[in-house]
Structures are given as C-alpha cells and as structure tokens.
Amino acid sequence: MLVLGAGPAGLVLGNILVDRGIDCVILERAERAHVQTRARAGFLAANTVRILERHGLAEGLHRHGQTHSTCEFRTEDGRFRLDYSGLGQGERHTVYPQQDLVTDLLTRFLERGGQIRFGTEAVTVRGADSERPEVAVREADERPGLWRARYVAGCDGRHGAARRSLPAGTVRHHRDHGVTWLGLLAEAPPSLDAVGYAVHAQGFAGHMARTSEITRYYLQWERGIPADAWSEEQIWHELELRMRATEYGPLRRGPLVQRAVVDLESDVLEPLRHGALFLVGDAAGLISPSAAKGANLAVLEAAILAPALVDDLTTGNSAGLDSYSARCLTHIWRAQEFSHWMIGLLHGPSGTDGESGFHNSLRRSRLTSLRTSRSHQDWFAEHYVGV
C-alpha cells in the first residue's frame, strides 16, 4: 500500500493499516521537521477524538489538549455566547495544534513499524485502472524513482500528485467565496475563553485559542494584498477595532509569528475513487477554514478508507472500497453546506452575492435567529462540532 502525504489523512490511514498488519509506505515531499512544525488547524471535533482513541492515537491530545465548548459572536447588535456542550448533541471540541497531532501520529506510525520516505515527491500516479498502479517520484537526491503497490491513497493535499493524475471526466465542483482572510498566529495567551467571531462593517475578525501561549487570529483581508503589507501595530489596532475591544476588553498582544493569506475557496472532487487510486483529506475536497472542518474530514475519511482496504487486502471483500466515495461525499457535502452557511454568517457581501443592504440584513437576521432560537442553536451546535 502506498500513501502519498504525511498530513493528518495520510498518517491516520497509515497508522490503522500498519496496526492491522498491512504493509504500507508513506511518501512525503517535505522534510520531517517541516511536517512537524506546520501550524494550521487546532479544533478537533468529538468524533475525530473518538476515532483517534479507537486506534490508540489520542494519548497526546488527552494529555496536552484542552476541551472547548463556547463561542462568542460580537456584532453591531451586541454580543452573545453559545455554550454548545449544552446544545445539539452536547459535544465539545478538543483544542490541540495540528502540528502536535501530526507529530504524535508520525511517532506512533514509526513505532508500529511503518515506513516513511521524507523528501520524496510523488510526481504522477500511473495505471490506476490496473492491479499494479505505480507512482513516479522525485527522490530526496533529485533522482527519479518508481514505486508500485496494489493501492495508492492520495493524501497529498490540493496541489498533490493524486489530483494531477486523475482521469478525464473527474468532476471538480469549485467555489471561490470571494472572501480572503489573513491568518495570524500570535505568541500571546488567548484574549477570551471562547472562540470569538466579530462581525464588523470593516470586515470579519476571529479569535481562536491554540495553547495557553499561542492564539490564532483571523482578519478579513483585501484580496491581492500581501500578508506583510501591514505593521504589527496596524494589525492589532484593526483586530481590536473589529472585536470591539473598547466595549468588551482589550486583546492580549504578542509578536505575530505567522501570517498567511487564505482565499476562502471550496472544492469537492467526484468520485473519490479511480480504480486503485483513492482521494483522501484535502485531496478529496478543500473546505474553507470558516468552520474548522478540514482536518476533521481528513481523519474521518482515512478512518472510513482504512478498514475497507484491510477487508479487501485480507479477505478479498471489496464492498467497503466500492462504497468509499459515496460514504465520504455525504459527510463532505454536509460539512461544505455548514461551512458555506458560516461564511454567509460572518461576512459582508462578496462577488455576485448582490446588493449589500439586502445581504447585510439577511446576515443580521441570521445572527438574531441564532441568538434567540433554541432550535436554531441546537442545529448550529450539532453541525459546528460534528463532522
């Protein structure tokens, strides 16, 4: 079995396969240090934690992660909080930085006897319609190489080799939401004990804890402007303005140690299986970070694919592989729907969404409904923390 990419998808898949005795090699383009320090997600859904527990992969997140269940909305009509542990299915998030999860998964994979080749870039997947597909690679020393396996899992993200190797006729549903965020990591403790969503005439601002010393902030950003265009002082000033710090308290400032411009885009590929090639995680579908679903979907899809591969490779039962694409697409589209709804909740009009007054009033009405309607809050909680 060949797995392309050592992100959450590839490492969860690799761990389950190796644990079940399947011979599995992960090919990873980056070096180990890079993979273990790439800061991205942090909010793990309750179901993600259950999956990781079931496969003996949750020790680190239980030891160092923090449970979290409150979000706060700050708008022109005041602020309100939702404690979603008392709503919907009564579930919580676990906050655990993605790079720490990836480090745990990698350590466990190697302990279980899995093989991983860092610095090895998959270039193309050939022969997916055969019983012996092959992956052409660029090895760490730049020399070309070739790997063969019964199956290939494309867990190599949106720009990976799996996507580039898909046959004609693969459908890619794509949406550019017309909104851009500046993602920031501050070396500063969280400023509030909740996820903060600020809706402001100047644009959206967000606050999300990562650890007791690191906080993620987001600032809605003009597309095309580079991440370093503003000074730290300008950024903190804008965050405080949009988060209404004069009314609700100052932000705890610290050096901004990471800045990344993220154009909010979504796509879904259909189908997710092409013969012996399977798409998993961001390679299967990209989801905007507005509802923190990407890493959770990646883990879920890997946990659906792994037992199906084990069944096929050990007993010849291919039913799980046959239904992989349809099963995952159901989850992916539900997450996309919620994520899309969140974008509408948090932003002003964009692109072709039409006249601003109409859109703004809709958004305000949506927020009022969320503040006042218990059934709307239950719906929100179920989708916000679930995948």
Question: Distance between CA 41 and CA 343 in Å, rounded?
Answer: 17
Q: Which residues neighbour 361 within 8 Å (Cβ) at sequence distance 6 or greater?
A: none
Question: Distance between CA 203 and CA 179 in Å, rounded?
Answer: 10
From residue 182 to residue 201, what is the string marking binding to ligand RFL with x (rule CB under 6 A)?
A: -x------------------
Q: Is residue 206 near ligand RFL by the rule CB under 6 A?
A: no
List 1, 3, 6, 116, residue binding ligand RFL (CB under 6 A): 6
Q: Is residue 349 near ligand RFL by the rule CB under 6 A?
A: no
Q: Is 217 a catalytic residue?
A: no
CA distances from 154 to 141, 213, 294 (A): 23, 35, 15
Angle at 375 between CA 369 and CA 376, to 5 degrees: 40
From residue 243 to residue 272, what is the string marking binding to ligand RFL with x (rule CB under 6 A)?
A: -----------------x-x----------
Name which of 51 and 298 has its Cβ closer to ligand RFL: 298
Q: Is 55 a catalytic residue?
A: no
Residues paired with 260 in a beta bridge? 183
List 1, 16, 22, 41, residue binding ligand RFL (CB under 6 A): 41
Name which of 123 and 229 has its Cβ closer to ligand RFL: 123
Helices 319-346 and 356-372 pack at an angle, to 10 degrees, of 110
**For residue 271, cis peptide bond before it (omega within 30 degrees of 0):** yes
Q: Is residue 160 near ligand RFL by the rule CB under 6 A?
A: yes
Among candidate residues 84, 96, 151, 197, the one labeled active-site is 197
Name which of 12 and 276 has its Cβ closer to ligand RFL: 12
Residues 66-105 that bind ligand RFL (CB under 6 A): 98
Which range in 37-45, 198-206, 267-275, 341-349 contacts ligand RFL by CB under 6 A? Answer: 37-45
Which range in 71-79, 142-150, 156-164, 322-330 contacts ligand RFL by CB under 6 A? Answer: 156-164
Q: Is residue 35 near ligand RFL by the rule CB under 6 A?
A: yes
Name which of 104 and 156 has its Cβ closer to ligand RFL: 156
Q: Are 183 and 144 in contact (CB under 8 A)?
A: no
Q: Is residue 27 near ligand RFL by the rule CB under 6 A?
A: yes
Q: How far is the CB of 132 from ligand RFL (least distance, A)?
A: 20
Amino acid at 164: R
Among candidate residues 55, 68, 274, 383, the one labeled active-site is 68
Total binding residues for ligand RFL by CB under 6 A? 36
Q: Is residue 61 near ligand RFL by the rule CB under 6 A?
A: no
Residues that bind ligand RFL (CB under 6 A): 4-10, 27-30, 35, 40-43, 98, 121-122, 155-157, 160-161, 183, 260, 262, 281-282, 289, 292-296, 298
Catalytic sites, residue numbers = 68, 197, 289, 293, 384
